[in-house]
Structure formats: C-alpha cells, structure tokens
Amino acid sequence: MHPTLLPTPEIADALAANRPVVALESTVISHGMPYPRNLETARALEAEVRAAGAVPATIAVMDGRIRIGLDDAALERLATGGPAVRKLSRRDLGVALATGTLGATTVAATMIGARLAGIAVFATGGIGGVHRGAETSFDVSADLDELARTPVCVVCAGAKSILDLPKTLEVLETRGVPVLGFRTDEFPAFYSRRSGLPIDHRCDNVQEVADILRASWTLGLEGGVLLANPIDDGDALDADAMEAAVAQALAEAEARGIKGKDITPHLLAALERITGGRSLTANIALIRNNARVAAGVAAAYAALRSDRVGPMG
C-alpha cells in the first residue's frame, strides 16, 4: 500500500481478505451540510454501508496522511472544523500532505485515495461537472478528468443540479467515461429522478454492474465508471421548483462574486434556505441510497475479484 495512506486496521484486513469496501468522500461532512446534520449524515452513511454487508472507508487528509477510514473523533473534527478544513481536489493533495493541512476530499481526491488503497467502489451524492456559463468562465470540475483517468466506480445521483447537465454528459462522452443507469434509462438530476437526458446503458442489478467493471478494467482501459442511481420517488423534489431555486441561488452567487471551489458549498446552502430545508433532506436521502447501492456493487465485484482479474485485483 502507498506510504502516504493510513488505513484503519479493519479496512486493511478487509482489503487483504478481498471483502467489499466502499469509499466515502469527506467534503459532504465539511462543506456540504451544516453541523450537526453533517456529522449525523456521515455516521448514517457508514451505517448504511455496514448494513448492506460492506466496510465503509471515509477518506480525508489529516496530519500528513491520506486517512482511509475515520473514527468518530475524526468525523467530528471534520464536521466542526469550519474554514480550517480545506476542500481538496487533485491539485491540492500534494500541498496538503506536505504541509499537514486538514483537508476534506472531493470526488476527484476521494477517487485517488480509493485507487491507491485498492478500493473499487465509491459512493457520493452527485459528481461535479460543467458549470452553467462555462463557455465564458471555463469552470469545469476536476471530477470529470478524474473519472477519465482513475479506475473507480462512482455511484451517484447524477451530477449536481446546479450544473449544466447536457454539457457534463458531453464531456463524459468525450473523455470515454461509461455512464450506466441503475434501473433507469435517463440521467438523474440529483434532487429529481429525471432530466430528459438518455443514458446509453441500463443496469437492473448489481451483478451486471460488476460484470461491466471487470470487463472494462480487464481490457486495460483507463478511467472510471459512473453509475447513475436516481433518488427514490418518495424523496424526490419537483424538477421545475428546483430549477427556479437553482436560478435564484446562481443569481445570488453572481451578485456576491462567488466563484471557483466556493461556488458549490454556497449554492447548496442557498438552496437549503430557499427550499426551507427540503433540498438538504433530499440530499441526505439520495446519498444514503447511493451508499446502499454501492455496497451491493462492491460485494458483487469482490466476488468476481477472487480470480484476481483487473487492475483492482
């Protein structure tokens, strides 16, 4: 294992024994939700993964190491750290490790940590993508390039609805990233089940997903696989109402000059305020659902890995 990694004994043992492990990001704790809901959600996600038969591995950077798995004290440190917790993407990892910075990992940075540890499946809420107005701002998330280069399956509820979803899918296609729909033919729009954008391949069970992961990685193809898992019907929000809320939040951000990596945390907080908390409730529900599905995929893929096939073997 890479020397910068510090896995918990449980995770080290699980990986050595080829038991299913699911990576979880830490920006949802530090930058995605207010305290104490962030800490409650972090604990709930780990419980969902365990209940589905896998081992949770929340990833963060602490004290000069990439921590693979966090105890409750570490989760609380991230949840209450405020501005002292830096939001880390690919470009920030080296600096954070060298300087001992406390950092929460984005989708891109979590994928890197998962790959180094040998974890094949990662659950998040929604990936980053092409921001609205990117044709002039050039604001495109590093998550998309990471998906093109790092062999990890990312289970998500689509891309965050604050983004330009058609352009995000175009970039994923250009980068050669397989986008699979889990029991859906349509790319989900985070808070809503439907976006009107078709997905090329539908998977109706976790075994089919695992088979595709092995087939892709056995070919030696670089890059990850995106598994789009829609929010449950009972938790979904009205698409038109959310589009109006996103437009209002974006206008507020522009008026305040908020850009770059600060834009997503601001917009999520603004949406929570505009929707009276409904967006946060939906966000928690969808990421818990993704954790359950990811655990099933991890278990199915671990069974296939018994023959040591693929880059994750």
Burial of 4 (0-12, 13-18, 19+ CB in 10 A): middle
Q: Are strands 103-105 and 86-88 parallel, antiparallel or unpaired?
A: parallel
Q: Which of 48, 76, 146, 160 is catalytic?
A: 160
Amino acid found at 167: K
- Which residues 6+ apart lie within 8 Å of 303 measured at CB? 210
**170 carries an active-site annotation:** no
For 134, other C-beta atoms within 10 Å of its C-beta total 17
- Please tell me the distance from the alpha carbon of residue 25 to that of residue 31, in angstroms, as a whole number: 11
**40 carries an active-site annotation:** no
Q: Which of 25, 48, 146, 272 is catalytic?
A: 25
Q: Give the residue numbers annotated as catalytic, written as ranges.
A: 25, 160
